[in-house]
Amino acid sequence: MEVRLDKQYPIDASIEQAWAVLADVRATAACMPGAQITEQLDDTHYKGIVKSKIGPAMMTFNGDIEVLGLDAGLRQLKMLGKGADKSGSSATMNLTARIEPGDAANGCRLVGEAVIVVSGKLAQFGSRLLVPVSDAMLKQFAGNFSAAAAAVAVAVAAPAAGSAPAAAPAAPVPQPTELNALALMWQVVKAWFARLFGRNA
Judge whether 192 lies within some domain: yes
Judge whether 118 lies within some domain: yes
Judge whether 105 lies within some domain: yes
pLDDT for res 137: 79
Judge whether 67 lies within some domain: yes
Domains: count for the chain: 1
Average predicted confidence (pLDDT) for the chain: 78
Judge whether 90 lies within some domain: yes
Q: What is the pLDDT of residues 35-86, one digit of tens each?
A: 889 999 999 999 998 876 554 556 677 889 999 999 999 999 999 988 887 7
Task: List the domain range (segments joined by +) for residue 132.
Answer: 2-156+166-200
pLDDT for res 43: 92
Judge whether 79 lies within some domain: yes
Q: How far apart are CA 133 and CA 4, in angstroms?
A: 13
Q: Could you tell me the pTM of the whole model? A: 0.73
- pLDDT one digit per residue (tens) for the chain, 201 residues: 888 889 999 999 999 999 999 999 999 988 888 888 999 999 999 999 887 655 455 667 788 999 999 999 999 999 998 888 777 778 888 999 999 999 878 899 999 998 888 887 766 766 666 777 777 778 888 999 999 999 998 644 445 555 555 445 555 555 445 555 445 444 544 554 555 555 554
Judge whether 134 lies within some domain: yes
pLDDT for res 72: 95
Judge whether 161 lies within some domain: no
pLDDT for res 49: 86
CA-wise closest residue to 66 among 54, 56, 55, 81 = 81
DSSP string, the chain: -EEEEEEEEEESS-HHHHHHHHT-HHHHHHTSTTEEEEEE-SSSEEEEEEEEEETTEEEEEEEEEEEEEEETTTTEEEEEEEEE-TTS-EEEEEEEEEEEE-SSTT-EEEEEEEEEEEEGGGGGG-HHHHHHHHHHHHHHHHHHHHHHHHT-----PPPPTTSPPPPPPPPPPPPP--EEHHHHHHHHHHHHHHHHHHHH-
Q: How far apart are the first and last CA of the chain?
A: 35
Supply the CATH number for residue 65's domain: 3.30.530.20
